[in-house]
Amino acid sequence: MQEATFSIAIMRDILQYVAAQGVEVNQLYTAAGIDPAWLADPDRQVSGEILKFLWREAIKQTGDRNLGLHIGEAFDLSAIGIVGYVLLNCQTYGQVLEKLSQYTRLFSQGVTIHHRVLDGWVECDCEIVGNVKNYLLDEPRHPIESTFAALITATQQLVGKVLPVQTVYFQHSRPEDFCEHQRIFQTTVQFSQPINRIVFDATYLDWAVRSANNNLLSVFELHAAAMLSAQNQAQNYTQKAIEAIVNSLQGEMPLIDAIARNLTISVRQLQRELKAENTSYQQLLDETRQKLALQYLKNPETSIHDVAFLLGFSEPSAFHRAFKRWMGQTPRSYRENQVKL
C-alpha cells in the first residue's frame, strides 16, 4: 500500500519549537531516525512513520501533553513553504481557505482540508486520508490539534483579527485536561466526533488579507501548481526527476548531483535509470524549463524577469537565448502572439 508522505517543513517546525523549549534535538534525531542533512532540503518529503516517532519523542522530552496545540499556537506561515506564500498574497480569507484546500497536498498527503458554507456558517474540515498507509489513522491527536491551532494563528497573521470560532470538533477522544483547548479556541470543544471540524460565521470569509498582492499571488501559485502537477504524476525515475527539478527551480539551476541526492540514489544510478527510460538529465531539465516557461508566459501579470528567475536562469538574457532556441522567437514575441490568438 502506498504511504502518505509529509513535507520536511512539518518536521522542521516540530524540531524548532522543541529546541526552543531547551530539548537536545540530537536525541530526537536518533529516536525518530532523522538525518539532520534532510533539513537543508526544503522540498524533501518524509514518511509518516518518521513523524510518528518524532511526535512521540518530542512529547516525552518536553513533558508537554498539549504539544500539538502549542506548536500550532506558535505557527508561522513560512513553515509550509510555497503554500504559505500563496496564502499571504490572497485577497480575502475565503480565498485563503480555497487555496489551502487546493495545495494542502504539497505539505501533507495525510489530510485534506476543505470547507463549505451552510446556513450562514462555515464548516472547515480536516479529513484524515484513509486509502493509504497513514500514521494519522492511528495517532491523530497532536498533528490534528496542531493543524487547527495553526489555522487560528495563521488567521490572525493574515487578517489581523482573532477568528471567533463557534465550535471545534475532534475525532480523537477527550484528554484528561482540556483547559488548553478552551483557552486557544475560546469556545466549546467536542471530542469523539465523526469529523475534525471548525465552525465559524460565514461573514468572516470576506475579511481582507493584509499582505494581499495579486501579482505575487500569480507568481507563487504558478509555481505551486507546477509542483502539484509534478507530484501527481506516476513515479518512474523520469517523473521523479521532473518533480525534483520543478521543486528545485527557485532562483538557481538544479544540478544532477542535487537531484540524485533528493532521490537518495547516486548520480551514476540516476543516469542509468534515465537512460533505460530513453532520456537524460539534461534533456529533462531542458524540457521541464521549456514547458514551465510556456505555462508561466500565459499569465500576463508574471513579468519575463520573474519567469527567468522561476526557471533558475542566472539572468534574463540567458533565458531569452534558451527560449529562442526552443521556440524560434523571444519570450516577449511569444507572449504577444498568444494575446493575439
N-to-C CA span, the chain: 46
Residues 6+ apart with CB under 8 A from 124: 97, 113, 114, 115, 151, 197, 198, 199, 200
E strands present in 49-106: none
Q: Are 225 and 82 in contact (CB under 8 A)?
A: no
Strand 165-169 vs strand 188-190: parallel, antiparallel, or unpaired? parallel
CA distances in angstroms from 324 to 133, 328, 330, 331, 333, listed in the order given? 46, 5, 5, 8, 10
311 in helix, strand or coil? coil
C-alpha distances in Å from residue 17, one per residue of 58, 59, 146, 154, 306: 10, 12, 12, 16, 34
The tens-digit pLDDT sequence of the chain (341 residues) is: 467 889 999 999 999 999 999 999 998 999 888 989 889 888 788 889 899 999 999 999 999 999 999 999 999 998 888 999 999 999 999 999 999 999 999 999 999 999 999 999 999 999 999 877 899 999 999 999 999 999 999 999 999 999 999 999 999 999 999 999 999 999 999 999 999 999 999 999 999 999 999 999 999 999 898 888 777 664 578 878 888 898 888 667 889 998 988 877 788 888 988 888 888 999 999 999 998 898 889 888 889 998 998 898 888 899 999 999 999 999 999 888 876 55
Count the helix, strand and coil residues of the chain and give each as a percent rounded to the nearest 5. Answer: 60, 10, 30
pTM to 2 decimal places: 0.71
